[in-house]
Amino acid sequence: MFSILLILTVLPLLALGFTAWNRSLKASHLITLTAAAGHLAATFYALIGRPAPLPGDPWFALDPLGVFFLLIVSHTFMAVVLCSPGFLARMGDPRYQASRRLYYPALNLYLLANTLVIVTQHFGLLWVVLELTTFGLAPLIYFYRSKESLEAAWKYLFLVSLGLVFLLIGILFLGLAAKSAPGHPNLLVSELLRHAAQLNPLWIKASFVFALVGVSAKIGLAPMHPADIDATSNAPAPVAALMSGSLRSTAMLVLLRFYQIVYQTEVRPFAQHLLMAVGAFSLLVAAVYIWRSRNYKRLLAYSSVEHLGVITLAVGVGGVALLGGLLHTLFNSLGKVALFTMAGRVHHTYQSRQIESVRGLMRRMPWSGFLSGWPSSTLSARRRSGCSLANC
Amino acid sequence: MLRGMVHAGNWLVLGIFLSLLMVIFIGMSRAFLRMLQTPPLEEAQAAPAGERFHLSHAVSLYVLAVSIPIAVFQPEFLFGPLRTILEQFGYFL
């Protein structure tokens, strides 16, 4: 288990160091691709081999929840890295030179931060590494160096960091809930799960509310979604694919870590109702803005709000709906990578993000048109049929 | 997901869920069909039709295609951890 954790964290760290030092884009791509392939292989090993957990209460571990989300992050990252040379080749203009230089180091920092969020089992440390994912992403959102992208990057940094302040308060409340329990468990997930029945319900309730508000900005749940929408629609296509495909899923994992503990307490019905309400509200907001949106990248960003709303709703309902929600997280990530990658190609060809300006896509760009139409229709079909064939 | 809502007897949630999904589905289809199927704008008529197959197309095709065998065959390496997660949340498949 230790060696797998080491591979998963050291590979992106080494790639980050090399790409930050190296100036050749080609070499940076090869190193990042190697790190992504190694990361994906280690993820599959963890998934198939199920290595024995570390003895005691380790701060870093890969539990089943972690392995599942690691698969999403690793797969999405690999797909984005494969598409990156094509994207950077299109961004040959000298004004993007500084952004191109930052691109691969920021990607590797993103993978490292997301991996740490997944393997960390201590809530205090989890907060720190979650903040790291925000800082890793900001330079990528500002890739185009335009006024809009600068505004989107700052807005994202500010609102998500504000959300993380709420999350920190939630973690402090969790600590207070643990303090009142016999044995004073620390903030490790396994410790809290063991003592869940003895945790103070009032502090647990407050902790869950603050944690939900806090991670909502990162997940993109209404009403904390605006920063995420602006960032996703102004970021380059591969970055938007990462944000929608994996970052929101990682933030959802943080929410599930809290819910794992709350689920074992008497606060469970309250948490379930809260999750269902937030999920339904996100669906409502997405339904309104999807009709009003004139920009196809914003449309896709609102589609992410909708999908994460569906997943939150499913988690709240629980039972077999939770299985649907988890599978939907995986399929939404895969679909979003395809949709945002194709949106990037369409943007490059039509030089516009306006729906009105894009006409005859199937004639002019048959491959991109087909791949844009397929995920949007299959995702909708999966939703209606209960997320996947597995649930039928 | 629908089965979960029916089992839990959450009829209100089920109603809201289906109604909003219908609105979203129509809204998304309206935008996508307009982009995909309408005739090109006049200035774009002169642009060459067709597009070369690119690596990003292959990647997109792969990430979409991989979801089908996962859903159909439900591989144990994926559903094993999923089953454990569900058990942690009190549901036994």
Test B67 with A342 for CB contact under 8 angstroms: no
- Within A22-122, where are the H helices? 25-49, 64-90, 97-119
Residue A359 is nearest to which of B13, B40, B72, comparing CB atoms? B40
Q: In the prediction, which pLDDT does A238 show?
A: 93
| Residues A24/A87, Cβ–Cβ less than 8 Å | no
- Phi then psi for B53, rounded to 5 degrees? -70, 130
Residue A371 has a pLDDT of 85
Residue B53 amino acid letter: F
Chain B: residue nearest A378 by CA? Answer: B64
Buried b (16+ CB within 10 A) or exposed e, A125-143: bbbebbbbbbebbbbbbbb
Q: Which residues of A touch B36 (CB under 8 A)?
A: 361-362, 369, 372-373
Q: What is the C-alpha to C-alpha distance for residues A178 and B17, in angstroms, rounded to an integer?
A: 36
Shortest Cα distance, chain B CAs vs residue A63, angstroms: 9
- The ipTM is 0.92
Tell me what pLDDT residue B43 has. 61
How many angstroms separate the CA atoms of A102 and A143, rounded?
9
A158 contacts chain B (CB < 8 A):
no
Is B60–A290 a contact, with Cβ atoms under 8 angstroms apart?
Answer: no
Chain B environment of A319 (Cβ under 8 Å): 4, 7-8, 91
Q: What pLDDT, on a 0 to 100 scale, did the predictor assign at position A388? A: 43
Residues in chain B with CB shorter than 8 Å from the CB of A65 are: 81, 85, 88
DSSP 3-state of A101: helix
CA distance A31 to A103: 13
How close is the nearest chain B Cα to the Cα of A376, in Å? 8
In angstroms, the CA A302 to CA A336 distance is: 12
Count Cβ–Cβ pairs < 8 Å, chain A vs chain B.
Answer: 240
Any CB–CB contact under 8 A between B38 and chain A? yes
Q: Cα distance from A79 to chain B (closest Cα, Å)?
A: 6
| Nearest alpha carbon to residue A189 among B88, B34, B40 | B88
Domain ranges of chain A: 2-358
Give A139 to chain B, closest Cα distance, Å. 23
Candidates A70, A55, A81, A76; CA nearest to A9 is: A70
Q: How far is B15 from chain A (nearest CA, A)?
A: 11
Q: Could you tell me if A329 and A311 are in contact, meaning their C-beta atoms sit under 8 angstroms apart?
A: yes
Q: What's the rounded Cα separation, in Å, for the pair A222 and A283?
A: 8
Q: What local confidence, expressed as pLDDT, does residue A209 receive?
A: 97
How far is the CA of A88 from the CAs of A91, A144, A338, in angstroms? 5, 12, 17
pLDDT in tens, chain A (392 residues): 678 899 999 999 999 999 999 889 999 999 999 999 999 999 999 998 876 666 666 889 999 999 999 999 999 999 999 999 999 998 888 889 999 999 999 999 999 999 999 999 999 999 999 999 998 889 999 999 999 999 999 999 999 999 999 999 999 999 999 988 887 788 999 999 999 989 999 999 999 999 999 999 999 999 989 889 999 999 999 999 999 999 999 999 999 999 999 999 999 999 999 999 999 999 999 999 999 999 999 999 999 999 999 999 999 999 899 999 999 999 999 999 999 999 999 998 888 899 988 888 888 888 888 888 766 655 555 544 444 433 33
Say yes or no: B70 contacts chain A, CB-CB below 8 A. Answer: yes
Ordered by start, the domain boundaries in chain B are 1-39, 54-93
Put residue B67 in one of left, alpha, beta given phi > 0 → left and psi -120 to 50 → alpha. alpha
Q: What is the DSSP letter of A390?
A: G
Q: Smallest Cα–Cα separation from A4: which of A52, A75, A65? A: A52
A363 to chain B, any CB pair closer than 8 A? The answer is yes
Whether residues B64 and A378 touch (CB distance < 8 A) is answered with yes
Q: Which is it for the CA torsion A52, A57, A61, A65, positive or negative?
A: positive
Residue A258 CA to residue A187 CA, distance in Å, equals 11
Nearest CA among A242, A244, A236, A196 for reference residue A220: A244
CB A272 within 8 A of CB A118: no
pLDDT at B56: 87
Q: Which residue, among B19, B36, B27, has the nearest Cα to A294 in the 3D structure?
A: B27
pLDDT band at B51; cut points 50, 70, 90: confident
Out of A75, A86, A317, name the one closest to residue B56 (CB).
Answer: A86
